[in-house]
Structure formats: structure tokens, C-alpha cells
Amino acid sequence: MRQVAREAGITPAAIYNHFANKETLFTGLLLERSPHAAVTEALLGAQGEDTQALVLDGMRRMWGALDSAAGGFRLLLIELIEFRGEHAGRVAQAFFPRVLAFIGRLRASSPGLRPIPPTLAARTFLGLFMSYALTASLLGRLPGFEESPADLEMLADVFLRGVRAEDRPSSGRAREGA
């Protein structure tokens, strides 16, 4: 509360003139500073001549937007640990339509994509990216976890093609339409 008051140039007691309680303040900060807000806004500007280029440009734009949301991961962890995801629905309502819009553009760019439900495709795309970003933030200083310029290109390829080598035969166990 003191940090927020200091940044706002008011006394800690004056915060309650604007917010009913600490949880209301936290929810406002979470909605404003969640990394999801910044990365999904950046995703809307993604461009590409084909599916691969569109996905890669989206990931690059999202990665660039993370600089403005550096403290947002801390807020997400507080949300998960302290509030047990209680506000996650409000956060998702604020950003998830942007990801779904991107998935719609992605589908339009390539009619040959598998018929994965849009919500699952959006969760997979965002989950893959955000898990990479979180591990880069937490483990990036450890040997073997350094960022590489090729990481986002590989991440885009994994999203579109999976991790299985293309020349290997399928095991035949994959669900149809998944």
C-alpha cells in the first residue's frame, strides 16, 4: 500500500478514497499490469504472409511487450498463491478475446490447420508462450537456460508442428480431430 501511495503521490490512507479495500486495489493492478494484457495487445498487431510468419511475428511482438509488463509475473504469482486464482476469470475476460481473434486470423491464413477448438488452440498458444516467458524470467541466469535469438522461431515451429520429427511415422494413437 505504501508503494502504491508513494507512486501515486498520496498518503496510504488516501488510497481508500479510490479503492474500497486492498483486494479491490490488487484486482485493479492485476487487470492493468498483468503480462497477459501487454502481450495480447501486442498480438493484435501481428502480421505475416503465411501461417508460420504470422505466428512468429505474434511471438516476437509479445516478447517485446513483456518489457513493459516486467512486474506482472509477480502479480500473477500473488494471484495464484494468495488468492488461489479467484480473480483469474476477470483477467481472462479482459484479454482472452484478443487471443481468440488471433487464432481466427491464424485459421484464415491457413485452411490446412487441424480442426482444434479455438479456445484450446488459444490456450495452447498462450500457454506455450507464457510458460517460456516465465521460465526465462525464473531460470534465465542458469547455464543452459540463456535466451537465444532462435528460441521464438523454434517456439513458433513447436506450436504449429509439435515436437515430433516430421519424418517419423505416427504411432496412430493421436485422437482424431484433436
Instruction: Express each pLDDT in 81-103 by its tens digit.
Output: 888 878 878 888 888 999 999 99
Angle at 18 between CA 42 and CA 73, to 5 degrees: 35
- In which band, very low, low, confident or very high, does the pLDDT at 68 lie, cut at 50, 70 and 90? low
Model pTM? 0.74
pLDDT score for 111:
81
Q: Where are the domains of the chain?
A: 37-69+88-161
pLDDT at 161 over 50: yes
**Mean pLDDT for the stretch of residues 119-128:** 94
**Mean pLDDT for the stretch of residues 60-83:** 79
pLDDT score for 176:
40
Concatenate the DSSP letters of all residues of 155-175 into one string.
HHHHHHH-SS-TTSPP-S-SP
Q: What is the mean pLDDT of the chain?
A: 82
Q: What percent of the chain has pLDDT over 90?
A: 33
* Strand, helix or coil for residue 177: coil
